[in-house]
Structures are given as C-alpha cells and as structure tokens.
Amino acid sequence: MAERHTGCRLRDRSWLVAGEVRFVAEAVADLGGHTAADYLESPQRWLSAIDETSRLQALERLQAALDAGEPRVTLNYTLGHVDGTSSRIADTLNIQRDTEGQAVALVGVLERVAAAGADDGASRSLLAHNPDLLLVLDADLVCRAAAGAVGPVLGISAEALVGRSLFELMAPEEAPRVQRALDEQAVTAGAALLELRLRHRDGGYRWCEIHFAADCDAVSSVSPGWVAVARDITERRRQALQWDAYDATDELTSALNERAFLGLLRQAVAMGDIHGRLSLIVFEVDGFADIVTRWGREGGDLVLACIGEMCRATLRERFSFGRLDARGFALLLSGKSLQETSAIAERLRARFGTTRVEFHGHWLAFSVSLGVAERRQGEAPESFLARAHSGLELAMTHGGNRVQQAL
C-alpha cells in the first residue's frame, strides 16, 4: 500500500517524482526488490522499473481518470524486480480530491496478478507473509477482511479478527482521538496516519502505526469505510523511551529524574504488562532534614548517593528506579502482586535500617518509610502514583521506618 501526493498533470511523465510519497508498506520489497525506505527516498525507482509500454499506458489511464473525476482507478503494468524477474501488477488507486474537485493524493493497494491459468499461490504467500497488518474496515472500524501480520500484531487469526471493531482493541483513552481524526478525513475521503495501541491476545498492548485511507466506494457517504495498513512499532517506541531515559538520569543517585520516571511510568501503563500487573514502591529517608542539619549538605548527599546502589544490591527483581524530588524515590516493578511488592519493600526497609555510612570518621545511620501500591484495572498513571504516595504518608504518620500498603 502506498500514498502519493501530487499536484501536477501527468502528461510530463514525472508524476511520481513531482509528487510527495508519504507512506509505503514494507511488503513492497517483495514486488520490486527495494525496501520501503528506498522507495520513499526515491519514488523514481518504482516508475523506472515498469516496462516502457505499460508505463505509458498506465499514465494515460490515470490521466483520463483524473480528468473524468473518477474516484478510483486500477492500473495494470509489468514491474521488473532487481533480481531480473518481473511481475504483472494491479495498482488500485483511490483518488482523493479537495473541495474544488482537484486531485490532491493517490492512495492505493498493490497486488501481484497471477498469469492466466497459473497458480495464485505467490499472491497468497505475499499476503500471508506481509510484515504489515492489512485491513478493510467499515465506517465503525469493524473488520471486513484482514491479511498479513494479524498473528504477530494481535495474537489471533485473520478469521477471528473479521467482525470485530478496532475500537474494541484500542486502549479506551485512544478511541475519542482516533474517532475525531477519522471524522475529519471522512468528509473529504482523505487519509490519516495515526499511532495508537491495540490489545494483543496476551493481555498487553502493541503500539501500531496505522495508515487509514478512505474507501472511495463510499466516497459519497458522510462516514466512508477504510482501507488500513498497521505496522507494529512497539520496539521502536521502547528504544526511543530507553534512549530518552539514558539521557535523563540524576547524577547524584543514578536514578531517572522525575520527568523521565513519570514518562516511563506512563509508557508502562499504556503498554500494559505481559503479566497484567504493575506495582510501585515510593520511599523517603526518615528525618532527612535533621541529617542535613547535623551533617550538612555533603552528609545528606552521601546518604542519598548510596540509595540506588543499595536498591540494586538488595533486590533480585528487575525494577526501574526514579528520583521524584529532593528526598523521595520510587521503584516500578512488573508482574508483582501487592503482597509480593510489600515483601520486597520490607527487605529494602530492613537493609536501609542496618546500613551505616562513613562520613569523616563518623557513622551515619538512617531509616526509610515506604508506601506500596499495585495498579488497579484502568487506573491512570497519576492516580497510581498518588496512591503509592498516600501509603508513604501513612507510614511516616505512624512513626516512619515501616512499610504501608496504599488503600
């Protein structure tokens, strides 16, 4: 599938070059041999791979469709592959127009056409092994047909997806944004490129980049159907988050700073956890102001500097460590119940309580108070963190040096 924006006449034979290519599905590599990125960078690669006779015929047919105001046209041509073979291609283009009827974009689906009498197994194989998820949707985003990477992206079969609406699979907070974007494009039978989360069968979410193109069979409808290509970008989102976190640590404690930790928390909640659980431990050093008064800022910094090291030395579980303010810290854990997290917090409390930090020939002792919370179904990140804080406040109210589960 590809989207091409053009504002020029086609008789100069340069429509692909003059226009701007916005989106190309990864499966295009099976047809022409170059990657989707190659075709985005140089659309001329595709045009030059079409044999001259069918290229001229296709351009003339497209020009005629544009002049006649047609909403859709199918171009047939022979495309050369980089390995020397060639394929017959059916290039079905939806012609998107502005309010004055001028063509502003071409959105199409490419299909390899089997020779007369030949087995069409190659075409079926292309669809089955497509790394993108290909969808035909009605106005309510109910799936009417699906092919490609249905299993890898959603964990179900294409047959199981048919009849279900994408709204059912989205994170609840995504639906209004998606609906608004598609409503805006439906009026002009336009296209939209959105990033959103779809629920996998394992209970977690996958981030997807979805290109919605209006189905021009319904161009006269207020709410047209859609042809969509969904690409799994979960790993890309994870890597981007990790890179941001790497550049956002607190030098004193090696913890993520508040902004980075909150971003990580929001991302973890948005993605969902493979085990369906997330928990937080929020803690502070008891009487930290008294430590600073007695030993000075240098003594206080020494106590804070050992916090992260002690967490890593004490805990066997994987966790994310953040500094929330001048004296508050948080640990984010996955796959743990409230009771399990409380036991982990108790191990930390005991370890901190028996630690002594040497400072200019003196031994500094300190304790911590800890609040613990497990995320509730559908709970927002901010509410989740606030409940963990409420547990910390209760622990401090009851004298400190204790673990308190949040209500």
* 188-237 per-position pLDDT tens digit: 666 788 888 888 888 777 888 888 887 755 433 445 688 888 888 887 77
CB 334 within 8 A of CB 273: yes
pLDDT of residue 350: 93
Query: In percent, how much of the chain has pLDDT > 90?
Result: 18
pLDDT of residue 5: 46
Placement of tokens 């050093």 in the chain: 285
3-state secondary structure of 319: coil
Angle between helices 288-314 and 338-353 (to 10 degrees): 120
Full-model pTM: 0.45
For domain 1-122, the CATH superfamily is PAS domain (3.30.450.20)
pLDDT of residue 332: 94
In the chain, the amino acid numbered 369 is: S
What mean pLDDT is predicted for residues 106-120? 60
Which residues on neighbouring strands pair with residue 78, listed in sequence order? 88
- How many beta carbons lie within 10 A of that of residue 20, not counting itself? 13
Q: Is 1-122's fold the same as 131-232's?
A: yes
Fold of 131-232: Beta-Lactamase (3.30.450)
pLDDT of residue 376: 92
pLDDT of residue 56: 85
**CATH for 237-405?**
3.30.70.270
Domains of the chain, by residue range, sit at 1-122, 131-232, 237-405
- Checking if the pLDDT of 160 tops 80, the result is yes
Structure tokens at 14: 């340069």
Higher pLDDT, 384 or 159: 384
- Checking if the pLDDT of 115 tops 60, the result is no
Higher pLDDT, 255 or 125: 255
Distance of alpha carbon 52 from the chain centroid: 41
- What mean pLDDT value characterizes the chain? 79
31-35, 57-61, 229-233, 379-383: lowest mean pLDDT where?
31-35
pLDDT in tens, 243-270: 555 556 777 788 888 888 888 898 888 7
Long-range contacts of 93-98 (CB under 8 A, 24+ apart): 93/62, 94/189, 94/213, 94/214, 94/215, 94/216, 94/227, 95/65, 95/66, 95/70, 95/71, 95/216, 96/188, 96/189, 96/190, 96/191, 96/214, 96/216, 97/69, 97/188, 97/189, 98/188
pLDDT of residue 23: 67
Q: How many helices (H) and strands (E) does the chain have?
A: 15, 17
pLDDT of residue 282: 97
Angle at 342 between CA 406 and CA 244, to 5 degrees: 80
- Checking if the pLDDT of 15 tops 70, the result is no
- 292-309 CB burial, b ≥16 within 10 A, e <16: beebeeebbebbbebbbe
